[in-house]
Structure 1
């Protein structure tokens, strides 16, 4: 009976998340509350045993760091500098937008990157009389592909990094970076071929406007500019070396955020910074962890693990490919965050059953979930953010039209990833 209650609550919550008509944090919190109401566990047990507070703290800290750094204008400076360098040429701009988005998504995280880049991009597109749809598709796909390369680039990777203690920041770059570079290069050229005519036809570029752009005007040259950039760079270095330093990523992020708050207190109070934090995202994670905890408590996760092992006979090779493709396809239609939260305990069960080697299963999950997020506008948080910002600027991204391009990219990405996983881990 308990299992039926848990599955019912979980499925209904998923359906509402998929419909995207109600705030997703509210849906997750309601689902979690229903789990407690029906006696699956107490609030004490739910919050202490099933919520991964390290992941929540890491996300919160990065939000604080980026919020303060954003005030200096450095991110807008980079975008304007790039547009001026390409002289507003649509094709060159298309490639550089893709590259900048991918790099930013790997170093910052894809949601933060699109939040910073898309408003500036839409402003430039309007001024340069360009069509927005190709660039927005490029940004979404590049953000998900680029975010796959590092531990902090995409929420699924953050969750996997927290779940596997012996994975460090460099491990993600070492195992996922090479295939991400290949996939992004191929997908960028494929997108260019798909949108080539749209990029050329009917575009009358205002070269005089491009010449008047001055990236330096966007910079607020106060001490905070140099201090925040220094702290951000040191944070990235510490992330890279945290395995050698024997300091957890969460500890590094929290200390960096606290240092940022201290140095910026005179410019902007901590209360104002906290108001800008994406609390909806954080509460969504908390509620989601409780929802998945209900599945674990009711034994559903164990049953899923047994089913997977029956399908694959406990073979690591077959399991990796099944996880890669199932994660890739499913993440295209449901947000990849809850899917990964569901799969992490499944792979942990695999390890308990003696499946070896186990690491390829984690990398397959990361590749499938992050790359599969390109399948639809609901596939990843970055997709929803871009669509929302575009809508407020009068640029609607049609769901079906995006899915046409997104699914082609997903199938291509998963095919390349399959060759990579087989060649690197099993040949």
Structure 2
């Protein structure tokens, strides 16, 4: 079996290897049953005798996401590209970077009747969700990727591509490791019978391992301004770190230590004293406002094949192009400072009517033309720094006893999240 997870500077990802014994792990059933797969196999006891073991893996039905305000807005915007009047002269748009940002940009430009040409420096699609196959046929992924119900744009994209069935939905829970009790976990279980935000409140109140009742009450009171103030309040907190905001709201430091180190690491791979509270509140608001917002799904295979290729096929079908091994060396400018062309490493230049850079900020900084560096808009890039993340896959020769068919929050200062990819 294999494990996969994430860390700032170390992303421990546990991905499944093709081992015949123990390829599916027992999973605690939840309040609502999903689709079950029971695979019997034999486990050798300490005395050498074979004893039967029944293993259960459960995937849950796709939740009803289409009736949320955010999903309806995303679907409406997406549909507007397809229904827009066809341009008299389609634009040739050159896009740098075939991660999900570049791929979706090309997809929607093609939907609108334009001709996107997507350039990817490497020989693999996906950017942050790229993956590689080793000599044994196993996949190494760039990170441990999950899809929340609160991701309206990507959920809508899955539907448009007709690949909703490729998401494997898990029990509506958040599961945290107990650092002082190795092998034990603390769960926040969201009941299906309650609407948001009551399901989230219930999940917090029912958990007694991580927070005391006084801490829960102070935490709830601290969150009230965010719940009542909505998006304007959330955006106004951008200047405060998670740690500073918690103290300002009178939330005990132990809440930050017990819950928000894990959340900060999972969202941005940095600590609560470095992360803007706006990032946390955006996620929390979605989780509190949408019944299935915090529900998670795993992709049923490697992202380049299972997610990226359907987007590429869609782009190709509408006359666009996706080119791998097309690294940009320089952004060439006209005399007026506008983009003239992209110069590639192979010496070729490619021109278009419009240009999009959909690369990580550190790569864009390297490409930024000298004439643009003093422009106030681009000077803001100086404050943006990428966070180094290492993804680690560990293969084991047997099943781990204490794990779940779910994403696990490590609550470690180093490790972010991890999962047993032989079962998810």
| Higher helix proportion (structure 1 or 2) | 1
Same fold flag (TM > 0.5): no
- TM-score w.r.t. the length of structure 1 is 0.26
Answer with 1 or 2: which has the greater Rg: 2
| Higher strand proportion (structure 1 or 2) | 2
- Which structure exhibits the higher relative contact order, with contacts defined as CA atoms closer than 8 Å and separated by 6 or more residues? 2
- TM-score w.r.t. the length of structure 2 is 0.26
